[in-house]
Amino acid sequence: MNKAIIVTGGAGFIGSNFVNEWLAQSDVQVINLDCLTYAGNMENLSALKEDPRHVFVKGGIGDSALVSRLLNQYQPYAVINFAAESHVDRSIHAPEDFIQTNIVGTFRLLEAARIYWNGLSSEDKANFRFLHVSTDEVYGSLKKDDPAFAETNRYEPNSPYSASKAASDHLVRAYHHTYGLPVLTTNCSNNYGPYHFPEKLIPLIIANALADKGLPVYGDGQQIRDWLYVADHCSGIRCVLEAGRIGETYNIGGWNEMANIDIVHTVCALLDEARPRQDGKSYREQIVFVTDRPGHDRRYAIDASKIEKELGWRPAETFATGIRKTVQWYLANPEWVANVQSGAYRDWVETNYAGRNQ
Ligand code: NAD
Ligand code: DAU
């Protein structure tokens, strides 16, 4: 069997966690294709600098010639597609990149994979997998008492981000039904953990709290998300890659629904304990309620019983253990946060928060 995998978007938050964990457990070489947008960060991969099992290639999934060259050169048995524009707020301000990367990019990656796969021996063809990493946001928004999202829920994406991910999921599905490409799709809930870019809620709250800035909570803070520690998402993906049924989709989630305001309170309490404010007050004092996100989905919740029943996967962390590790990681890595808070990051903060009433 071929002894390499291609991971796209492996310098981002989840992709870098995946690559680091993969190579901690396996000697199968990783070809990491990432074009290093603002969200891609080589520091996330610093532990692999001298490691010959990790080959980093700077480039985009939409570059068909490059992708074909990598496929033919390294003969991978799997492509795992993390590459995406991933931030809902940015998709509201500037949707174009989301269409280009998430839809056009995924299409080109699929097309290159199909051509490569067609040329493989029958044994390698049977072993090949294209695993597409997607999101629970494609299912839309739940009401308070609705059952959690199952794989059979209809797609009802509400933001340019989720619509672009939904489109990419449909293309992946079509490549299986039309061409027989052996695909797998995972739809996961909100991740948190090390290397999470501080434009997203949890790392933003930690960074702002420590910098004595406001902690912006959109609307009434009662929106619900289902939080999963990133290492658990990565183990779920490995499980689906190894044993998932071809053509199937698997929801991955933490069985952990929480309102945003409760997330913020939990982070504040952990920081109060680990790094108390000099004035003895709680970091909660810094919370500010700001204008809501347009079209803000009210509730997401994942029913992860299919992956548990079929593949025996369950998350290893509870929210209590995962969020403690996460806060500790950010306290131990202030230079990582400082380095990503570049000029471009400051421009984004200005764009997203300046117009919001407080
Ligand atoms: P991220 O924004 O942190 O990282 C995305 C990475 O993709 C970056 O390294 C970026 O440089 C790279 N990239 C962007 N466009 C590219 C292109 N055209 N070609 C190659 N590389 C490109 O995102 P993340 O949070 O790590 O999410 C990874 C994947 O998981 C995404 O597909 C996202 O939709 C999905 N997902 C994320 C979450 C979450 O909570 N963060 C939950 C479920 C699913
Ligand atoms: O559900 C999975 C999705 O989770 C992934 O597909 C996305 O890639 C990922 O970014 C994430 O999307 P969210 O929009 O849920 O994540 P974000 O961290 O941006 O926001 C989480 C919640 O917190 C959401 O309800 C909006 C709210 N929020 C966010 C920010 C940045 C605030 O209240 N204040 C903020 O400043």
| Res 344 pLDDT > 90 | no
21 classed as catalytic: no
- 156-171 pLDDT, tens digit per residue, is 999 999 999 999 999 9
Q: What percent of the chain is modeled with pLDDT above 90?
A: 95
62 Cβ contact partners less than 8 Å away, ≥ 6 residues apart: 100, 101, 104, 105, 108, 109
| Residue range 232-241: mean pLDDT, rounded | 98
For residue 100, what are the CA distances in angstroms to 95, 97, 222, 278?
9, 5, 32, 47
Atom 8 (ligand 2): residue with closest C-alpha? Answer: 86
Neighbours of 108 (CB within 10 A): 17
- pTM of the prediction? 0.98
Which tokens in the block code for residue 295? 């079209």
| Res 133 pLDDT > 90 | yes
- 175-224 pLDDT, tens digit per residue, is 999 999 999 999 999 999 999 999 999 999 999 999 999 999 999 999 99
- 48-61 pLDDT, tens digit per residue, is 999 999 999 999 99
261 Cβ contact partners less than 8 Å away, ≥ 6 residues apart: 217, 220, 221, 222
C-alpha closest to that of 315 among 206, 190, 213: 190
Residue 358 pLDDT level (bands cut at 50, 70, 90): low
- 46-100 pLDDT, tens digit per residue, is 999 999 999 999 999 999 999 999 999 999 999 999 999 999 999 999 999 999 9
| Res 239 pLDDT > 70 | yes
CB contact at 8 A, 98 and 165: no
- 143-157 pLDDT, tens digit per residue, is 999 999 999 999 999
Question: In terms of DSSP bridges, do strands 257-259 and 224-226 run parallel, antiparallel, or are they unpaired?
Answer: antiparallel
Residue 257's pLDDT is: 98
330 classed as catalytic: no
Residue 345 pLDDT level (bands cut at 50, 70, 90): confident
Atom 4 (ligand 1): residue with closest C-alpha? Answer: 12
Question: Among residues 34, 63, 137, 232, which one is catalytic?
Answer: 137
Domains by residue range for the chain, with CATH? 4-190+229-255+299-317 (3.40.50.720)
Mean pLDDT over the full length of the chain:
97
DSSP string, 10-61: TTSHHHHHHHHHHHHH--SEEEEEE---TT--GGGGGGGTT-TTEEEEE--T
Q: What spacing in Å lies between the alpha carbon of 217 and ligand 1's midpoint?
A: 23
* Sign for the pseudo-dihedral over CA of 104, 252, 92, 339: negative
| Res 325 pLDDT > 60 | yes
| Res 1 pLDDT > 60 | no
Residue 347's pLDDT is: 86
- CA-CA distance, 234 to 249, in Å (whole number)? 16
| Res 5 pLDDT > 70 | yes
For residue 327, what are the CA distances in angstroms to 184, 211, 302?
33, 14, 24
Which tokens in the block code for residue 314? 């369950």
189 lines ligand 2 (CB under 6 A): yes
197 lines ligand 1 (CB under 6 A): yes
- CA-CA distance, 6 to 19, in Å (whole number)? 10
- 43, burial (CB in 10 Å: exposed 0-12, middle 13-18, buried 19+): middle
Closest ligand 2 atom to the C-alpha of 134?
6
C-alpha closest to that of 17 among 156, 173, 191: 191
